[in-house]
Amino acid sequence: HVAQLIWVVSDLDRVVDYWQRLGIHDIHHDGVVRFPNLTYRGKPDPASVKQVTAKVGELEIKWIQPLHGGKFWRDDLRKHGDGIRVLGYKARSPQEFDDQIKYFSSKGVSVVVQNTWQGSTGRGRIAYLDTAAEGGGNTLALIDDPDIQSRATDATGTGNAYPVTKINHFAWVVNDVRKVDTYYTGLGFKPFSSIDHNVSLDRFYRGQPGTFEMWLGWDRTGDTPFEWVQQITNPDVYVEYGKKHGEGFHHLGVNVTDMDEAIQLM
């Protein structure tokens, strides 16, 4: 279960305003948040950011606009532009958090960013793992946060508007889907459930018809499917993204009851 997304942006107010108009209303404006205990590759890197926290179903989204410090966020924003950069998994206990850090270290995966803080019910910790370069642009995070469950059940009463009520699909653009599969399998994850050769005949890109061919890797081991897209032909939205941002997170998916109606709503 993905518990948290870290979404790094250059203009927080503009981005949050846009998503509010698309239906995400369960939002808390955290203001300027300071991270005095932040480290980057083992060295102190205190930072301050503008931050907004949102909820979509059981998923917590943290939009972050770096202000000072925070080398990981600032460098990532400079290299790749706005986007979702980190997928966080909540450890079930402080001991599991420590054990997972040791496990990934034994696999040659170091900690890039680490932070500790004092929460309302205990000490919190998060660690970003150095997986992006080999893992399709995705940084995995481990979270030991005693307050995350209380935030999940503390509804604001506003709720989100259809169809952005539950995220049920994550997708990345990658250069080599088999390489990504091999990398995560080597870390102990289950192999992708399938790698499909997809040829879509009836598609449109920026209003123009075309035939699009790609390799699609599917990971269905969690409660939300992961899709890894390696494009073969172009142009299309995946090639467009790759040229601008490189490998990385491409889209979130939601289910709709009527596609034409949902497109019109958007």
Instruction: Fill in the DSSP letter of residue 130.
Output: S
| Side chain identity at residue 151, one-letter code | R
* pLDDT score at 209: 86
- Note the pLDDT tens digit of each residue in 226-251: 999 999 887 889 999 999 999 999 99
Q: What DSSP element (H or E) covers 128?
A: strand 123-129
**Is the full-model pTM beyond 0.85?**
yes
* pLDDT score at 202: 77
Nearest partner of 5 among 138, 98, 109, judged by Cα: 138
Nearest partner of 244 among 38, 79, 36, 72, judged by Cα: 79
| Dihedral sign of CA atoms 21, 23, 28, 31 in order | negative
φ, ψ of residue 62 in degrees (nearest 5): -115, 110
CB 51 within 8 A of CB 31: yes
* pLDDT score at 122: 87
Kindly report whether the peptide bond that precedes residue 235 is cis, defined as omega within 30 degrees of 0.
yes
Q: What is the dihedral of CA 145, 141, 89, 13, to 10 degrees?
A: 80
Spans of the chain below 70 pLDDT: 149-158
Give the span between the Cα atoms of 128 and 86, in whole angstroms.
8
* pLDDT score at 153: 54
